[in-house]
Structure 1
């Protein structure tokens, strides 16, 4: 049995980069259903096909039943789109939602200005995408997650623990994700929903290349190489892990007790 067999997942920012690779990794682990969300329908279609291909290889080996892949075009700045995303997902998955990955992020203007010169509308857009949208998605998805048990995984950044010049609204939004994740984890501690957050580190993605055009992207990790922690946190192996910050590219994911936690839950 594969690690995510029988589970249903919702992944935002899934049309490219890390979100794309998480979706494919979940399909490879036999997830029953994946809702992939992004603004680009064309790119989502490519990811949907890649997920179906990955799941199809499992079916050929009679390892897992068919994976349902649902692609939803949405702008997470819009509250009505967020409500539609969750409602559509629950409708298509018969009320089930076991895994929520809040991956979608906006970087803001490129090159990124200092806060003194940051346009207000750009600031609002980044905060709405990176912080308000995950907050609303968790609120809307929580009843289903509580009913069946579930895992909420928020994507953070080193810019959410250290303030860097020029990272402006993005860094502020990730500071918010860090605090919000800790608060959700504490408030849900007595439920069967766990909340953890992952810093994937420097990755060779379009967003990162736009943020640091002067850097050499070949020195950064390929997103496919940091997906294992997302599979672990989505699986029952992490059922007793709550309120932890993971660093995808660090030994033991940067968590002192990570290896012992993994051993206990395997």
Structure 2
């Protein structure tokens, strides 16, 4: 069975992907900061699952995730899904608190690169793949999205360069579109976001991506 590490897997897109990959026959290593929510998520899944709670900004936790994947046979896929929005309501860049911006970059860029570095030797050995979850805010100048969007833009460039430097690895930067998640609700406090599609709606496209294994690049679902 192929093995995937999915970060931010206790809810939203990460949890939906965990269900989709488990149904497709994958073994999973799931990450999230909340241990109780992560354990509850893992209990819903039928296949081999390791729930490893922790913060991806912590080096020890990143090592634990890769070690858990090794116990299942070694990682074939890393889904860098975990992330933070930053302050809510979304502030303009002129008022953006720099401590908040540092956290956004720490989680959404540096920690994701660090986890990728940790898993990279095993992924290359297994002809594996990396998914970086991005956003249209990385390429469009939406007011209020300067912090989150610029971090995702940096992550996209990391994905492009990684693909050029490690051609044996598939690196997909995937934009799933606007989804009905807690993070998206936090971006629009008090607004009705029921018109956005549920995360489960994009899971078949992810499974198709993993099955067809196209060349590295940006993918808009």
Common fold: TM-score over 0.5? yes
Q: Is the contact made by 1:153 and 1:233 (CA closer than 8 Å) also made in structure 2?
A: no
For the residue of structure 2 that corresponds to 1:149, the secondary structure is coil
Q: Is the contact made by 2:5 and 2:65 (CA closer than 8 Å) also made in structure 1?
A: no
- Match of 1:35? 29
- 2:179 aligned with 1:208: no
- 2:221 aligned with 1:245: no
- 2:166 aligned with 1:197: no
Structure with the greater alpha carbon radius of gyration: 1
Q: Is the contact made by 1:45 and 1:71 (CA closer than 8 Å) also made in structure 2?
A: yes
- Match of 2:130? 152
Return the alpha-carbon distance in structure 2 between the equivalents of residues 69 and 80 of structure 1: 20
Q: Deviation at 1:214? A: 4.8
Q: Is the contact made by 1:74 and 1:85 (CA closer than 8 Å) also made in structure 2?
A: no
- Match of 1:63? none
Q: Is the contact made by 2:8 and 2:81 (CA closer than 8 Å) also made in structure 1?
A: yes
Return the alpha-carbon distance in structure 1 between the equivalents of residues 13 and 208 of structure 2: 15
The two structures, once aligned, show a CA RMSD in angstroms of: 1.3
In the alignment, structure 2 segments of 5+ residues that lack a partner are none
- Match of 1:185? 163
Return the alpha-carbon distance in structure 1 between the equivalents of residues 215 and 187 of structure 2: 31
Return the alpha-carbon distance in structure 2 between the equivalents of residues 185 and 46 of structure 1: 35
Moved over 4 A (4+): none
| Aligned pairs, number | 221
Scaled by the length of structure 2, what TM-score is found?
A: 0.95
- Match of 1:224? 200
RCO comparison, higher one (Cα < 8 Å, 6+): 2
For the residue of structure 2 that corresponds to 1:245, the secondary structure is strand
- 2:68 aligned with 1:83: no
In the alignment, structure 1 segments of 5+ residues that lack a partner are 1-5, 53-66, 249-266
2:72 to 89, 93, 108: 93
Return the alpha-carbon distance in structure 1 between the equivalents of residues 175 and 44 of structure 2: 25
Scaled by the length of structure 1, what TM-score is found?
A: 0.79
Q: Deviation at 1:41? A: 1.0
1:29-56 deviations in Å (ceiling 9; x for gaps): 011x20000001111112101112xxxx
Return the alpha-carbon distance in structure 1 between the equivalents of residues 50 and 43 of structure 2: 11
- Match of 2:50? 70
For the residue of structure 1 that corresponds to 2:162, the secondary structure is helix
Change (3 A) 1:30 1:88: closer
- 2:111 aligned with 1:117: no
Q: Is the contact made by 1:20 and 1:47 (CA closer than 8 Å) also made in structure 2?
A: yes
Range moving further from structure 2, 128-137 or 75-84: 75-84
- 2:44 aligned with 1:50: yes
Q: Is the contact made by 2:56 and 2:115 (CA closer than 8 Å) also made in structure 1?
A: no
Q: Is the contact made by 2:56 and 2:62 (CA closer than 8 Å) also made in structure 1?
A: yes
